[in-house]
């Protein structure tokens, strides 16, 4: 009798479950959290994707800038949001690859508290040196540094940035001894590499391209495993003398953990469609970024590998922020 009652209850529940599974999405405005200030690469990509989503779904897509604490403030807001797909975050290599190893106390976890939707774009870092430095390629640079250990310095936009850790990865893989000088943003790094106050940087590509093309800086390589379409003449650091080297910034959409799988799948499919649009592809490429896309599973694998990679770099370099 008990079994019969349970079967009847299950049958009664089936229509409700089916209705829930088939519920339309979105049913209200969608919010994409950007854990950084407006006008940066993260913000621009979120707005490009959000505008197209809004056009498709007929619902407003609101970009919510929650800057501060290297992306930790906005990321925690996203992690605590209702898991129905109406709140997303444009995650980055910093928020979902680096910070979990860099900060002792976070109010969220990049894997446990999020459901990956889709990788959107990758931005190579570019290795540039002052024109007066007597090197023309990566191998010559390594030899030059090893001949004068600890005498050259490199700049980054700040402790824990992808530029900082990209050079620390380079140091660990080559044995180069270069002193780190942290700045408050890339503008100071760019000015001081050109001015000769620092010798080198491996920083996000977009601000450096015009100066390289104007002959004010010498570019040696890009940091990603593959060459960049923005400057295809440049080799990767891996092919130029450091096999296996791969570093760069990336950006992708994530939802709070527990978001229904059908909603994640719909978001992922729409993101993939948007990235393939000619106007979006062109705009992303103009930023010095590589449009990517991909499945939630592929994005999840990338995040796990990035966490492991940067954890080792941070541990070896003994970098820790409060």
pLDDT digits (tens, 9 = 90+) for 136-164: 999 999 999 999 999 999 999 888 888 99
Please say if the pLDDT value at position 4 is more than 80.
no
Give the integer Cα–Cα distance in Å for 283 and 51: 13
Residue 212 burial (C-beta neighbours within 10 Å; 0-12, 13-18, 19+): middle
**Residue 194 shares a structural domain with residue 252:** no
Which helix (H) or strand (E) covers residue 140, if one does? helix 138-147
* 7: in domain: no
Give the integer Cα–Cα distance in Å for 29 and 57: 10
Banded pLDDT at 9 (limits 50, 70, 90): low
Contact 174, 139 (CB under 8 A): no
* 4: in domain: no
Enumerate residues 6+ apart whose C-beta is below 8 A from 6.
none
Cα 23 vs. chain centroid, distance in angstroms?
32
Please say if the pLDDT value at position 16 is more than 70.
no
- CATH code for the domain of 186: 3.40.190.10
Give the integer Cα–Cα distance in Å for 109 and 60: 28
**Residue 215 shares a structural domain with residue 256:** no
Look up the domain containing 165 and give its range: 124-222
- Would you call the peptide bond into 289 cis, given omega within 30 degrees of 0 as the criterion? no
**Residue 112 shares a structural domain with residue 129:** no
Structural domains in the chain (count): 2
The residue among 174, 207, 222 that closes a domain is 222
Please say if the pLDDT value at position 18 is more than 50.
no
Contact 121, 48 (CB under 8 A): no
pLDDT digits (tens, 9 = 90+) for 59-112: 999 999 998 888 999 999 999 999 999 999 999 999 999 999 999 889 899 999
* 243: in domain: no
- CATH code for the domain of 102: 3.40.190.150
**Residue 73 shares a structural domain with residue 96:** yes
* 141: in domain: yes
* 8: in domain: no
Nearest to 84 by CA among 292, 261, 217: 261
pLDDT score for 157: 86
Strand-pairing partners, residue 218, are: 129
**Residue 253 shares a structural domain with residue 119:** yes
Contact 140, 164 (CB under 8 A): no
pLDDT score for 10: 52
Banded pLDDT at 252 (limits 50, 70, 90): very high
pTM of the model: 0.82
């Amino acid at each position: 009798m008990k079994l019969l009652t349970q079967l009847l209850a299950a049958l009664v529940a089936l229509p409700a479950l089916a209705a829930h599974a088939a519920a339309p999405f979105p049913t209200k405005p969608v919010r994409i959290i950007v854990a950084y200030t407006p006008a940066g690469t993260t913000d621009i990509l979120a707005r490009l994707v959000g505008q197209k989503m809004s056009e498709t779904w007929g619902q407003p897509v609101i970009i919510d800038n929650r800057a501060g604490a290297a992306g930790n403030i906005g990321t925690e807001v996203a992690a605590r949001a209702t898991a129905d797909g109406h709140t997303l975050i444009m995650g980055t290599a910093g928020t979902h690859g680096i910070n979990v190893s860099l900060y002792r106390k976070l109010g969220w976890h990049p894997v446990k508290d999020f459901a990956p939707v889709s990788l959107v774009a990758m931005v190579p870092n570019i290795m540039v040196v002052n024109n007066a430095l007597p090197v023309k390629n990566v191998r010559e640079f390594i030899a030059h540094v090893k001949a004068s250990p600890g005498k050259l310095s490199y700049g980054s936009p700040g402790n824990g940035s992808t530029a900082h850790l990209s050079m620390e990865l380079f140091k660990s893989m080559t044995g180069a001894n270069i002193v780190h000088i942290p700045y408050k943003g890339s503008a100071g790094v760019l000015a001081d590499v050109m001015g000769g106050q620092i010798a080198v940087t491996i920083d996000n590509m977009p601000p450096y391209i015009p100066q390289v093309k104007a002959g004010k800086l010498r570019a040696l390589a890009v940091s990603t495993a593959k060459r960049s379409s923005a400057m295809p003449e440049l080799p990767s650091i891996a092919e130029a003398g450091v096999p296996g080297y791969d570093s760069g910034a990336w950006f992708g959409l994530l939802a709070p953990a527990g978001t229904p799988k059908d909603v994640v799948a719909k978001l992922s499919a729409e993101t993939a469609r948007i990235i393939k649009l000619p106007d979006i592809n062109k705009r992303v490429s103009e930023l010095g970024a590589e449009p990517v896309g991909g499945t939630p599973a592929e994005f999840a694998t990338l995040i796990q590998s990035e966490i492991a990679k940067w954890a080792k770099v941070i541990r070896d370099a003994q970098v820790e922020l409060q």
